[in-house]
Structures are given as structure tokens and as C-alpha cells.
Amino acid sequence: MKGFLRRVKGLLHKGNRASRLFWRYVILTKLHFWNYHSRKAIMFRLDLIGDCTMFTSAAKAIRLGIGFVSEDRRREGLCLEHSVLDNLSVVCLGKLRKLLGYIDKRKENEMCRKNISDFHIAAERPRKAVKYLSGGNQQKVVIAKWLNINPKILIMDEPTRGVDIGAKKEIYSILSNLTALGIAVIVISSELNEVMSLCDRVLVLRKGMLVDEIKAEEMNKERLLSASMGGGEK
């Protein structure tokens, strides 16, 4: 059942690499931690944030510093008819408001231009409709949007689906930079090569149950395939 998860502990915890806080995790599944179109509550313990927390809406998760990059950016990740600027600021309007509740347009434009520069988004102007961007540039807009909330955790579902090789490399670089900064990243991917190149640890889930946990030093295609098809079930 999509979105149903049982008896999985230790999904996120601290790691250390080169004296810096470092997280990198992959779940090989189609699990969704929340669904924008669902009213069902989701509960799981987040030691990075505090005690067990009930998520009843995406808005509450955002307030706690959790971002979610959907596998379907065109339907769930972007407002295609709106501008690059609108899409980049839509989830962080709270920090752009002035005392009387008005949006600080100067601050919004500065943030947008910085996003476009930092993520090499090919948009000639911030007011360009996002639907006219390539798939890779659209995906970078989605990622930049969530980073504008300064997330503690970023969940990325099929982060490189429908992008070209160049954009895929850029996204991998972005993920590496995020984890080096101490942001916890969960990548949900069905691409074995992506899983192997990104992760330090893999949790393989099937029918809502954890069937295998694979550390980086134990990881290979045969082990991943065996676990995902049933051979690794415990």
C-alpha cells in the first residue's frame, strides 16, 4: 500500500565524515511520507527535530523544516503558469513578509536572483513562466524552492527523473553539498546506479516493511536487486 510504513527505525541519524556532520540516505521504494492531496495524518519520530510528531499537513512539515521534492514536478512541484520567481518564493513567503504582512519585493527579487545564479537556472528573467524551462532547469527550481526554507530534512523522490545528463550531474553535486552542510537528505530512487553513487546507507522497503539494510561497503547491484525482488527479505 503506497504511503504505509511499519517497524522502520533509525531512518535518520548523525554521521561524521572529515570532521563534519554528514547525512546521506536512500530508500529504494515508492513510499511517500506525505501526500499533498491526502488528509491522512502521518506520524514518525524525528530526533533531529524533537519527539514524535504528527504531520497533518504539508504546512506543518514545512514549519518544522522538512522539504519534499515530488517525483512529478509538473503536477505537484511547480505552478507551471506562474513565474520562476513565484515558484521560488511560494513556500517561504513567511520570511519575506514585512511588519504589516506585505511581501518585501526587493528581498524576494534578491533571493530569486541568487537562486538563479547559485543553481545555474537558465532563465533570462525571474518573471519568465516556469513552464518554458527545460526539465533539468525546472527541477533545479523545485530544489532551490525548498532550500529557501532552510530545511533540516529534504526528501527527494526520483530527483533526476526526466532530466538530461548535465542536469543530473548538477543535481548530484547539489546533494553532496547539502549533506556536507549538515542537511539530512532522503532520496527515494528506483535507479540502481543513482542509489549506489549517492548513498552511504540503503533501506530497501517492500509492502511497508523493511526487508534489507545495506551499508556502503556492502553495496553492489546484485545485493540491491536481490533485496528489492525478495531475496533479501528477513
The residue range of the domain holding 21 is 16-229
pLDDT surpassing 60 at residue 23: no
6 domain-assigned:
no
5 lies in a domain?
no
Q: Half-sphere exposure (CA, 13 Å, Cβ side) for 21?
A: 11
| Bridge partner residues of 205 (DSSP) | 210
Lowest mean pLDDT among 79-83, 124-128, 150-154: 150-154
| Residue whose C-alpha cell reads 554521521 in the numeric block | 15
Residue in the block written with cell 546521506:
24
pTM over 0.85: no
Nearest by Cα to 227 from 215, 211, 209, 216: 211
**Looking at the 3D structure of the chain, how many domains does it have?**
1
Select, from the ranges 127-141, 147-161, 216-230, the one with the highest average predicted confidence (pLDDT): 127-141
What CATH number is given to the structural domain containing 45?
Answer: 3.40.50.300
Q: How far apart are the first and last CA of the chain?
A: 19
The 10s digit of each residue's pLDDT in 103-134 is: 999 999 999 999 999 999 999 899 999 999 99
Chain mean pLDDT for the chain = 76
Give the model confidence (pLDDT) of 166-199 as tens digits.
999 999 999 888 888 888 888 888 788 888 888 8
Q: What is the pLDDT of residues 29-68, one digit of tens each?
A: 333 444 444 444 444 445 444 455 666 677 778 888 888 8
Give a yes or no: residue 190 inside a domain: yes
The CA distance from 140 to 127, in Å, is 16
Residue 49 in any domain: the answer is yes
- DSSP 8-state code for residue 119: T
Angle between helix 135-147 and helix 105-118 axes, rounded to 10 deg: 130
